[in-house]
Each structure stands twice: as structure tokens, then as C-alpha cells.
Structure 1
Amino acid sequence: MELIHKYYKDNFDISDRDWEVFASKLEYNEFPKKQTILHEGQVENYLSFIETGLVRFYIPKEENELTFAFVFNHNFFSAYDSFLTQSPSKYRVETITDSSFWRISYNDLQAVYAETEIGNLIGRKASEELFIKKSERELSLLNKSPEERYLDLFSEKPEVIKEIPLKYIASYIGVTPQALSRIRKRIS
């Protein structure tokens, strides 16, 4: 929980009172590797902060799953469209590694918004951060080659990229596993 407190202190100068309200709503969970934490058709009820671990977002398909996002430790994540609208998710969220999260439920977050001075600012900033990541991903798909997308992912978190199965990386950058092998061979 100290990581989240530091994040809010550094970025928002959260007061002790507001932190106490927010912290009282957080719950700690641990999930094993390859654990589905949200199935398609379920409503996302949590905004989560990854203390340790790695998560992927994907659309299950009979032949090939379509991975469209990775979230690394010390970042917030949520199936945010489902969370905001409280409607069923159209995709899955799964841990790639053993992971630990601090989570706040939708209803508890609404209470934080109502009970604290800084709650709405925190919510707005979280929304802005998720929007920027989504926009960057869309622009990357439209403007960059698969090789550039691979290099971007590698430069973002080189220490954990080795923990992501190559088939997930291939799906994420929009190529087959064989094409990814050729890309990796070219740049090594």
C-alpha cells in the first residue's frame, strides 16, 4: 500500500485525511500466474493497482487469442469501459505472472469521490492516464511497423518482456509468431 500512498503523495499531495478515507477502501489480493481475473460477460467492479506482476487484456478466439494490452507492475488497470458503464466486458483480463494488487470497488470509489476533497481529481487523472495509453496504442497500430511496436514494448519494460510468452507479444504487435521470430532475428 505504501507504493500507492507515495504515488498519490507525489502526484496529488493528498492530505492525510483523504488518504485515510481512500486507504480504508482498498483491499489486497494475490493471484497466481495465468489466472483470469475478469471474463468476458462479467462486469468490471474494480480499479486495481499492480504492486507486483504483469497483466494482459485479450479477446478469446477459437484459433488465436487477440492480446491488445499489457499492464506492468506499479500501474493502475481496469476493464475501464465496463467499470465506468457497469456493463459486461467484451474481453478478458488475465495475470501473466504471479501478481499482487491493491483494488478499490466501483461503489467504494464513488464514496471516495463524495467523501474527499481530492477524489475527483484522482479519478480524472486516472481516466486521463488510461485514455492517453489507449490513444498511444491506437496511433501505434496505425503509424508504426510491427518491428517498431516490438521495440517500443521492449524499451518500455525490458526486464519483464522475457516473462511474456512470444505468442502474446506476436498477437499484441499484430503478427504471427513466425513473423515475430524473424523480427527478433533481424534486430538481435
Structure 2
Amino acid sequence: MDALRKYFQNFVAITDEEFELFYSKLIPSHFAKKSIILQKGEVENYLSFIEKGTVRFNIPKIDHDLTFGFAFENSFVSAYDSFLTQLPATYNIESINETILWRISYQDLEAIYQKTQIGDRIGRKVAETIYLKKMKREISLLEDTASTRYLDLLREQPELVRNIPLKYLASYIGIRPQSLSRIRRTIF
């Protein structure tokens, strides 16, 4: 779990004792490609670190899902609003490919916050990162054209374009797959 320790050290110096306490609470979970990690209507009980794989956040619809987010290796993933409130999630979290998560429960994380000096700081930094990404995406959806949103993805998050099926990318930038195909033809 060197990747997890490095992730934490981006925010704060973590002692061996503090890391071991956190690590001792983690539960490894494996998900096959296209598995539901969290179903709409369930309460999110875990904050998870992605060791391997890619996940997407989506709102299931009859004719197509609305994708509104992704998470990648070496980052945290959670239906964070459900996790914080302990109320049912209003969306799904699904693995796009084979995914390995290291999960910590709500109760165990609260205990770590109480027992360590750095727990609150790490929690705050993770929440700030989630918030900043969310705000940037919302502003882009309101102000930018679909072409601009796609070009921004190519520039800022090339892993999205390489690893995510086009139908999910199209939904993420707020258009149909056919429109994304037209945009791609004009660019390339």
C-alpha cells in the first residue's frame, strides 16, 4: 500500500503508527468488470482507495444511464454525500473494469479521526479535492460547449479518453454518443 501512503503524504506527514492504524482497518474488495459497487438506494458505508481499476458514478435511467463522474487508481471513491449523511445514495457506483478497492467503514474512519492527530486533516483534504473537482465540472457544464468539454478532457484527463467507453464519456460531458462521434471526427 505504498500508493496509499504516498497519497496521504501529499497532504501531511504520517507516522508509521498512524498509517498502521489506518491500514489495519482496511478491507480489500475485488469487483469484476461492470459490477455494481454501490446500488442506488443503499447507504454508503465505505470510503475506498482504488488500488486497481476505474469506476463511474451514474444515475440509472430506462433508456440510458447518466454518467456524472469517474474515479481512477490511486484515488479515493465513495458516494460521499451518502457516506457523510448515512442516508441512501441517489446514484450507482460501478466498476468499468476489474477493480480492487481497499475500504474503510464509516465507524472505523470515525474512530481513526478520534485516535490520530492527522485523521481530520486527511479527511478534510480528501473532501476538498472532491469538492474542487465537482465545482469545476459543474461550471464547465453550464458555460462550455460540448466540444470545449471534450477538448478539456483530452488535455486535462487523457486517461479518461483512453480508458473509458465513448458512451460513458458522452454522458459525462452531457451529450449523446452520436454527438461525441461528430465532435471527434472534426477534431481528428
Place the TM-score, normalised by the shorter chain, in its bin.
over 0.9
> TM-score, normalised on structure 1?
0.95
Mean CA deviation greater in 82-91 or 139-148: 139-148
Mean CA deviation greater in 46-55 or 151-160: 151-160
Residue of structure 1 equivalent to 2:142: 142
Residue of structure 2 equivalent to 1:27: 27
1:129 lines up with 2:124 in the alignment: no
Distance in 1, matches of 2:147 and 2:138, equals 16
Deviations 1:94-144 (A, max 9, x none): 000111111111111001001111111111111111111111111111121
Q: Counterpart of 1:126 in 2: which secondary structure?
A: helix
Residue of structure 2 equivalent to 1:69: 69
- CA contact 1:55–1:70 (8 Å) conserved in 2: yes
> TM-score, normalised on structure 2?
0.95
Residue of structure 1 equivalent to 2:173: 173
Distance in 2, matches of 1:104 and 1:94, equals 18
* Alpha-carbon distance, 1:11 to partner: 2.5
Deviations 1:6-38 (A, max 9, x none): 222343111122111111111212211100000
Q: Counterpart of 2:14 in 1: which secondary structure?
A: coil
Distance in 2, matches of 1:37 and 1:170, equals 22
* Alpha-carbon distance, 1:162 to partner: 3.0
Distance in 2, matches of 1:54 and 1:10, equals 21
Deviations 1:26-73 (A, max 9, x none): 121221110000001000011111111110000000012100001111
Note the aligned Cα RMSD (angstroms): 1.2
Residue of structure 1 equivalent to 2:93: 93
Mean CA deviation greater in 153-162 or 140-149: 153-162
Distance in 2, matches of 1:160 and 1:125, equals 23
* Alpha-carbon distance, 1:74 to partner: 1.2
- CA contact 2:55–2:95 (8 Å) conserved in 1: yes
Residue of structure 2 equivalent to 1:48: 48
- CA contact 1:5–1:19 (8 Å) conserved in 2: yes
Q: Counterpart of 1:56 in 2: which secondary structure?
A: strand
Distance in 2, matches of 1:39 and 1:159, equals 25
Residue of structure 1 equivalent to 2:7: 7
- CA contact 1:97–1:163 (8 Å) conserved in 2: no
Q: Matched residue pairs, number?
A: 188
Distance in 1, matches of 2:140 and 2:77, equals 20
